[in-house]
Amino acid sequence: MKKRKLGKSSLEVSALGLGCMGLSFGLGAATDKPEAIKLIRKAFELGVTFFDTAEAYGPFENEELLGEALAPFRNEVVIATKFGFKGGKTALGTDSRPETIRAVAEAALKRLRTDVIDLFYQHRVDPIVPIEEVAGTVKDLIQEGKIKHFGLSEAGVQTIRKAHAVQPLTALQSEYSLWWREPEKEIIPVLEELGIGLVPFSPLGKGFLTGKIDERTTFGKNDFRNVVPRFSEENRKANQALVDSLGRIAKQKAATSAQIALAWLLAQKPWIVPIPGTTKLHRLEENIGAAEIKLTENDLKEINEIISKIEVQGARYPEQLQKMVGR
């Protein structure tokens, strides 16, 4: 797989990464460990060198899984993990105090079976701890050789600027896809200005853009999508028009809807690296195939014209989670 650099940094990764959250957390029952390890290692065989996790995924289980799965070729891959929630539990709220950041880093190093974290994100902006203090702590960890690169997740423009002034950011991780284009308004121009890479999570709209989810789909009791307004039965029905249009374009290109959605993201900027997640080997292979699809200017124009006529229904987060975004 072709490589990309995240912004103006020296961090080079595969054009598509692997979001590992769903293997342990958030989308129903965790995948059996042997199967999860098999999938992670298959991703590496297929050219993926960028793997995303967080202490909050589990909590802690996903980091441990990744540490074991990637141990045989640790020096050939880039591992990103995150800090910023109390006890690693999102329900308890944010905690980015310097002592917490340091404790999380030390614990993550052990769970990931490594002596350095390649990319360390603040999972969500902490409204109590100044971002300059957070960036300064990560800067110290970088100087101590425990961290290589600093990132933020779902941060707003002012926070990005303030953090970057203290410790240059390598990447911002935020949701971005054909059905969530909000970052195009302010975030992407600022990232381009400052030379920061963008790592879109949920690049397939939490599965909706694959065309495999419709109004009749039911989700497991532990599936996060049960509380996402955009995934209500009514909104899924309304949003079907977007998926249908994507399917028609995919058919023209002899590709799948998922592949077109990922290829569209890759075509936006050379410093964008999506991290689709999956628990299935055939979906992994399908997603990776998107890196080989070339969309022409006419293709992109057609997609944009079609998408611009469709208003996606439903908020992407419940209200309490939306308050933690864009600070």
321 within a domain of the structure (yes/no)? no
pTM: 0.97
For 325, the token pair is 């975004």
Q: What is the CATH number of the domain that holds 132?
A: 3.20.20.100
Range with lowest mean pLDDT among 16-20, 34-38, 135-139, 250-254: 250-254
pLDDT for 80 equals 98
Domain that holds residue 76: 3-204+262-293
131 within a domain of the structure (yes/no)? yes
304 within a domain of the structure (yes/no)? no
215 within a domain of the structure (yes/no)? no
Residues known to be catalytic: 57
The model's pLDDT over 183-215, given as tens digits with 9 standing for 90+, comes to: 999 999 999 999 999 999 999 999 999 999 999
The model's pLDDT over 68-96, given as tens digits with 9 standing for 90+, comes to: 999 999 999 999 999 999 999 999 999 99
For 301, the token pair is 């124009």
28 pLDDT band, cuts 50/70/90, is: confident
The model's pLDDT over 311-321, given as tens digits with 9 standing for 90+, comes to: 999 999 999 89
User: In the chain, what's the furthest Cα-to-Cα distance?
Assistant: 54
233 within a domain of the structure (yes/no)? no
What's the number of domains the chain is made of?
A: 1
Give residue 65's identity as a one-letter amino acid code. L
Q: How many angstroms separate the CA atoms of 16 and 287, rounded?
A: 8
pLDDT for 320 equals 86
- Does residue 305 have a pLDDT over 90? yes
210 within a domain of the structure (yes/no)? no
The model's pLDDT over 210-239, given as tens digits with 9 standing for 90+, comes to: 999 999 999 998 899 999 999 999 999 999
319 within a domain of the structure (yes/no)? no
300 within a domain of the structure (yes/no)? no
Annotate 12-41 with DSSP letters as a single string. EEESS-EE-GGGTSSBSSPPPHHHHHHHHH
Q: How many angstroms separate the CA atoms of 235 and 248, rounded?
A: 21
